[in-house]
């Protein structure tokens, strides 16, 4: 399968970047890295603990360094699926790194779907203050609206994760990414 060398998944929290990314890597034989996982490994503590003990600014600085390191270390002869933390594309330097190295897919889901996933999973410090379900949905709506422009600026393709099961989301992304790669090759020849 002719695919871009690095496929990055971006998008709002709980749209499925980590889950879909892992399944994509398995389906196409690419490596898989999750920026959040890499940061947790290096810090030796969870994302909520980093936010609480070190603050968001420290987490964001680690995010940029981790992204740069991952993108430059990836061997030429091995593809990579990179699941990004939800806030990563809000930083202009990170968007430039994505544009320079990746085919970037934005995962999208309804705020209601996201709220249900966040309630089931936890682990999202930026949404931890929500009072109840309705407040959580409202906070997700507001944060999504604030982030929309930066996400769009970094995006080569959108994929919805509300309707299709994970395997079909994977197949649709790989199908589209392969078309793009073939087209790029034709244009380069
Ligand atoms: N079609 C789907 N695509 C992606 N995730 C889904 C889908 N259906 C259910 N989920 C669930 O939604 C959650 C998404 O969480 P996660 O992958 O951690 O998202 P993110 O990394 O974007 O925050 C997982 O528990 C996953 O199993
Ligand atoms: O959107 C964000 O700002 C964040 C998203 C999280 O990753 P997921 O999008 O994988 O949940 C994680 O990086 C951190 O909690 C901050
Ligand atoms: Mg994730």
**Sequence ranges of the domains in the chain:** 6-164
The residue to mutate among 34, 47, 143, having the most atoms of ligand 2 within 8 angstroms of its beta carbon, is 47
Known binder of ligand: residue 139? no
Report the top-level CATH class of 6-164: alpha beta
CA atoms within 13 A on the CB side of 11: 27
The residue to mutate among 34, 49, 124, 142, having the most atoms of ligand 2 within 8 angstroms of its beta carbon, is 124
* 3-class secondary-structure state, position 146: helix
Please give the pLDDT value at position 36: 98
pLDDT beyond 70 at 139: yes
pLDDT in tens, 74-122: 999 999 999 999 999 999 999 999 999 999 999 999 999 999 999 999 8
**What tokens were used for 83?**
């699941």
**Percent of the chain predicted with pLDDT > 90:** 98
ipTM of the complex: 0.98
**What tokens were used for 42?**
């290096």
Please tell me the distance between residue 72's alpha carbon and the centre of ligand 1 in angstroms: 27
Distance CA 63, CA 85 (A): 8
Known binder of ligand: residue 60? yes
Query: Are the C-beta atoms of residues 51 and 125 closer than 8 Å to each other?
Result: yes
Query: Are the C-beta atoms of residues 131 and 123 closer than 8 Å to each other?
Result: no
pLDDT in tens, 23-48: 999 999 999 999 999 999 999 999 99
pLDDT beyond 80 at 10: yes
Query: Are the C-beta atoms of residues 30 and 59 closer than 8 Å to each other?
Result: no
CB-ligand 2 contact for 126 (6 Å cutoff): yes
CB-ligand 1 contact for 20 (6 Å cutoff): yes
DSSP 85: P
* β-pair partners for 9: 83, 105
Question: Which ligand 1 atom sits closest to the C-alpha of 85?
Answer: 21
Please give the pLDDT value at position 174: 98
Phi-psi region of 12 (alpha: psi -120 to 50; beta: other; left: phi over 0): beta
CB-ligand 1 contact for 113 (6 Å cutoff): no
- 80-83 and 103-108 strand pairing: unpaired
Is-above-0.90 flag for pTM?
Answer: yes
Phi-psi region of 140 (alpha: psi -120 to 50; beta: other; left: phi over 0): alpha
How many Cβ atoms sit within 10 Å of the Cβ of residue 187? 7
**The residue to which tokens 């790194």 are assigned:** 97
CB-ligand 1 contact for 15 (6 Å cutoff): yes
Question: Which ligand 2 atom sits closest to the C-alpha of 90?
Answer: 3
Residue 1 pLDDT grade (very low, low, confident, very high; cuts 50, 70, 90): low
């Amino acid at each position: 399968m002719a695919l871009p060398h690095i496929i990055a998944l971006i998008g709002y929290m709980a749209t499925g970047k980590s889950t879909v990314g892992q399944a994509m890597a398995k389906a196409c034989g690419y490596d898989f890295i999750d920026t959040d996982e890499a940061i947790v490994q290096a810090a030796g503590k969870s994302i909520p603990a980093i936010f609480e003990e070190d603050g968001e600014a420290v987490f964001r600085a680690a995010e940029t360094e981790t992204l740069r390191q991952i993108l430059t270390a990836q061997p030429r002869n091995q593809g990579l699926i990179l699941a990004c933390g939800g806030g990563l594309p809000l930083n202009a330097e990170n968007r430039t790194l994505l544009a320079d190295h990746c085919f970037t897919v934005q995962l999208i889901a309804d705020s209601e779907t996201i709220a249900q996933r966040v309630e089931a999973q936890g682990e999202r410090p930026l949404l931890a203050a929500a009072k109840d379900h309705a407040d959580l949905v409202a906070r997700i709506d507001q944060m999504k609206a604030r982030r929309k422009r930066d996400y769009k600026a970094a995006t080569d393709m959108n994929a919805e994760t509300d309707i299709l099961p994970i395997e079909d989301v994977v197949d649709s992304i790989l199908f589209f990414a392969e078309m793009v790669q073939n087209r790029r090759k034709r244009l380069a020849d």
